Structure 1
Amino acid sequence: MSCRLSVNLNKVALLRNARGGREPDVVRAGTACLDAGAHGLTVHPRPDARHIRADDVHALAALCRARGTEYNIEGNPFAPPRPGYPGLLALCEAARPTQVTLVPDADGQLTSDHGFDFARDGAALRPQIAAFKALGCRVSVFVDVGNPEVAQAAACGADRVELYTGPYAKAFASGDPAPALAAAAATARLAQAAGLGVNAGHDLDQANLAPFLAAVPGVLEVSIGHALIGEALYAGLVPTVRAYLALLAAAA
C-alpha cells in the first residue's frame, strides 16, 4: 500500500482570519487539493479558533463526504469546551471524520511539538480513544520518535500512531539526518510490531519527504500543511499537491 497524502488546511484559514471575511476560502482550497489528487484533508481546530473554526470543520466534512475522501481531524481530547469550541469529541460526533488524530497540545501552543507520554497519559487516553472509536473514527495518536513505549498506543486502543517529524526535518536541514532517520525507522517498526499503522507529519516538505519515506518502512499517510501551503504561494496549489503525489508515487 503506497503512502497517502492528507493536506492540512490550517494555514489557509490562518491567512483568512488575519484579514477577516471569507478569502481565501478554505473549502475552495480543499476542493482544489482533492481535484489535484490529494487523498484527504486534515484540520486542527484549536480552542482559540485562530485558524480552523467549527464552521470550517463542518463545511469540510460535507466536502469530504461528497467526494468520498478521507477526513482527518486533529486535536487535544482533554481541552475543555468553551464558546466557539464545543470540544474535540463534539466536533467529531457532528463531522464523523475518517480519522481523528489525538495530540497533547496546550491551549496556547504555537504548533504541535511533542507526543504523548503513555506512562503518564495512558489511563486517561483509553476512554477518550474508545469514545472516538464508538463514532466510527480510526484513531491515531501523536508520538515522539524514539519513544520506547510507542507500542502502548495499541494497549490504549489506538489504531495508528503519527510520528512527530519536526526533529527529523531540523536534522535534514542541518545536513545530518541519518540518526533521526534511524530513530524514526526503529520507532515505526516497534509500532508496527504491536499492530499499529504508522502515519507521519510535521515540517515535512518536498526536499525531505523522499529520504524519510525511503528510510522509514510502511508509512501509510503523511499530513502536510505548513510547507505545502508555503510552496504553493510560488508554484500554485494544484501543481504543488501534484508534486507531492509524484514524490509518494516514486517512493512506492
Structure 2
Amino acid sequence: MTKLSVNVNKIATLRNSRGGNVPNLIKVAQDIEEFGAQGITIHPRPDERHITYQDARDLKKVVTTEFNIEGNPIPKFMELVLELKPTQVTLVPDGVDAITSNAGWDTITHMDFLKEIIQTFKSNGIRTSIFVDPDLKMIQGAALTGANRIELYTESYAIAYANGNKTGITPFVEAAKAAHELGMGINAGHDLSLDNIQFFKESVPNLLEVSIGHALISESLYLGLENVINMYINKLK
C-alpha cells in the first residue's frame, strides 16, 4: 500500500489568518493520525506565513507516524531539520517569494550542492528525498546525489488528467521505473486529489508515499476530514 502523508500547511494558514490558536494545528495533526494517515508533512517557509518553526518543534513532540519536513535547504531550514531529526526531509527548490512549489530541482546543475546537503542529513539518520520533475536526466542526477528517494512533482499530471488526457501519466511511469532501477524510493505530490489519485496509484509502479495537503483539506470542508482521509486510504490500497 502507498502511504498517505497529510500536509497540514493549510491548517496553519487558516489559524494564522485570524491569530490565536483556532484551528489547533497540533490537535488536527493528532486527529489526522488517529483517522488513519501514515504521516504528517509540513513545509515551513522563511517568512513563516503558514507553518512556523515553532510549529515544527511542537509537532515533533506529538507526531507518532512518519514526520516529513519539506523546504529549501537554506541555513535556517537545515538547522531546524538537524535539530528535530524528522523521519524524512524533502528538498524543494522554492524561492523565498514562491506561493507554492512550482518546479523540481535541476539535479545536474546543483549536484555538488545537493550531495553536500544530503550527506549531512543522511549522516544524522534522516531519510532524504528530492523534489523532481519526471525528467529522466533529473532522476539520474538525483541518484548521483545519494538521495534515498525522489518526490515526483505531479502538477502536469493533474492538469492533464483534469482535461481528460490520461497519457499525462506516461512520464511519471517512466520516471518511477528509472528511479526504482537506480535504487531510489518513489514519493509523489502536488495537486493530487480524490479525483486523480487512484489512477496515479494504479499506474505508477513502486509508489511508496504521497504527500497531499491543499486538495485534501479543501475536500474535507465538504466531506469531513475523517471521511476524506479514509477515502484516500481506500484509493491507495
Q: TM-score, normalised by structure 1?
A: 0.92
CA distance in 1, matches of 2:185, 2:32: 24
Alignment map for 1:92-131 (pairs within 5 Å): 92-131=81-120
Deviation at 1:152, TM superposition (A): 1.9
Letter in 2 for 1:185: V
The match for 1:167 among 156, 180, 187 is: 156
CA distance in 2, matches of 1:128, 1:155: 13
Per-residue displacement from partner, 1:167-213 (whole Å, max 9, x unpaired)? 100111111121x2111000111111110000000000001000011
SS in structure 2 of the partner of residue 126 of structure 1: helix
Letter in 1 for 2:8: L
- Does the alignment pair 1:76 with 2:75? no
Per-residue displacement from partner, 1:131-187 (whole Å, max 9, x unpaired)? 111221100000001342312212111000000001100111111121x21110001
Letter in 2 for 1:53: T
Aligned length, in residue pairs: 237
CA distance in 1, matches of 2:180, 2:220: 33
1:242 equivalent in structure 2: 230
SS in structure 1 of the partner of residue 109 of structure 2: helix
- Does the alignment pair 1:202 with 2:186? no
1:20 equivalent in structure 2: 19
Alignment CA distance shift 1:111-1:147 (3 Å): farther
CA distance in 2, matches of 1:132, 1:88: 12
Alignment map for 1:1-40 (pairs within 5 Å): 2-40=1-39
Letter in 1 for 2:44: P
2:48 equivalent in structure 1: 49
The match for 1:141 among 130, 141, 151 is: 130
Letter in 1 for 2:220: A
Letter in 2 for 1:150: I
Deviation at 1:248, TM superposition (A): 1.0
Gaps of 5+ in 1: 81-86
SS in structure 2 of the partner of residue 41 of structure 1: strand
CA distance in 1, matches of 2:229, 2:41: 14
CA distance in 1, matches of 2:59, 2:208: 22
Gaps of 5+ in 2: none
1:84 equivalent in structure 2: none
SS in structure 2 of the partner of residue 105 of structure 1: coil
CA distance in 1, matches of 2:95, 2:166: 29
Q: Percent identity?
A: 45
Deviation at 1:214, TM superposition (A): 1.1
Letter in 1 for 2:131: F
CA distance in 1, matches of 2:25, 2:230: 19
1:88 equivalent in structure 2: 77
CA distance in 2, matches of 1:134, 1:90: 14
CA distance in 1, matches of 2:140, 2:22: 43
Contact 2:132 2:138 survives alignment (8 Å): no
CA distance in 2, matches of 1:120, 1:141: 14
